Amino acid sequence: MTTFSFTALALGAITLIVPGAASAQQRVSSNAPLFSSAPLFRSAPLFGSAPLFSSAPLSAGEAPASPQQSNVPDQAKQAESAVTDAVKKFRIGVFGGIGLDPELIEFGAHAAFGPFFGDNVVFRPGFDIGVGEITTQLGLNLDALYILPGSTTSTRWVPYVGAGVNFALSHEGFEEPAPEDAEDAEQDDEDRFDFSDTDFESGLNFIVGMRSQRGMFFEMRATAYGVSAIRLLAGFNF
């Protein structure tokens, strides 16, 4: 009798507990969300909205600070500007090349003035220095160039011809050392080639060349009548 009543009480308790747990589980799964909808972090911006630099206007009499001040003095700036204006005004150019007769390495500079007597004629004075094995030459050239017609601003290379006067100061020097043997000295005195000569001569230049719109030029200059020389030159007009 006692065993039967204990068993009946246990079955009744299980019957009451199981439906209650099931209904509680059903209410949790149907109504309550699994995770809370509250944000994990606040929505405050990472950086403040205040500007990095203040936009407050400058007070009266306060000059804005210069980001970088130049250390170049005003006199140097004026000198640089004057040189730049002179180069553009006189169209200064430089050149270099070789001389074929005599064999020289040539370099020099010139300027251009004009046009004169039309749009195609310019006056181009200049000087050049030639250095060779036995010859050193300093020349002054007073040339007039004629730009061949038919070229436009879109023409890449413009041909020209020219002529002028050349004044040259040339120095030739060659010295052969005397033999160290005293017996051969007397024999070689008559054959020794030792001279130094300086001459001033003038001649006429004849020029054929072409120049680009960007300043590069190539030309051949031949000099005759007093100074015989042929030069192949390349240069740039600023």
Share of the chain above pLDDT 70, in %: 57
Report the candidate in 136, 148, 143 with the shortest Cα–Cα distance to residue 206.
143
For the whole model, what pTM was predicted?
0.59
Give the Cα separation of 96 and 105 in Å (integer).
8
Cβ atoms of 106 and 97 within 8 Å: the answer is: yes
Q: Which amino acid is at 204?
A: L
pLDDT value of position 175: 54
Residue 144 contacts residue 162 (beta carbons within 8 Å): yes
CB distance 219 to 233 below 8 Å: yes
Model pLDDT for residues 185-201, shown as the tens digit of each residue: 554 444 434 445 678 88
Listing DSSP states for 26-76 in one string gives HHHHHHS-SS--S-SS----SS-SS-SS--PPPPTTPPPPPS----S-HHH
Mean pLDDT of 224-233: 85
If you compute the radius of gyration of the chain from its CA atoms, what whole number of angstroms results? Answer: 49
Separation of alpha carbons 203 and 228, rounded Å: 8
68-114: per-residue pLDDT in tens? 556 778 887 777 777 776 666 788 999 999 998 788 999 999 999 98
User: By mean pLDDT, which of 136-140, 171-175, 203-207 is the weakest?
Assistant: 171-175
Q: What is the mean pLDDT of the chain?
A: 74
Question: Strand, helix or coil at 159?
Answer: strand
Question: What pLDDT, on the 0 to 100 scale, is given for residue 46?
Answer: 44
Say whether pLDDT at 24 is over 50: no
**121-148 average pLDDT score:** 94
For 133, residues 6+ apart whose C-beta sits below 8 A from its C-beta are 103
pLDDT band at 171, cuts 50/70/90? confident
Q: By the 8 A CB rule, do 237 and 217 touch? A: yes
Nearest to 202 by CA among 145, 137, 146: 137
- Judged on CB neighbours under 10 Å (0-12, 13-18, 19+), 172 is middle
pLDDT at 15: 52
Q: Would you state the structure tokens that stand for residue 129, as one six-digit string?
A: 């220095």
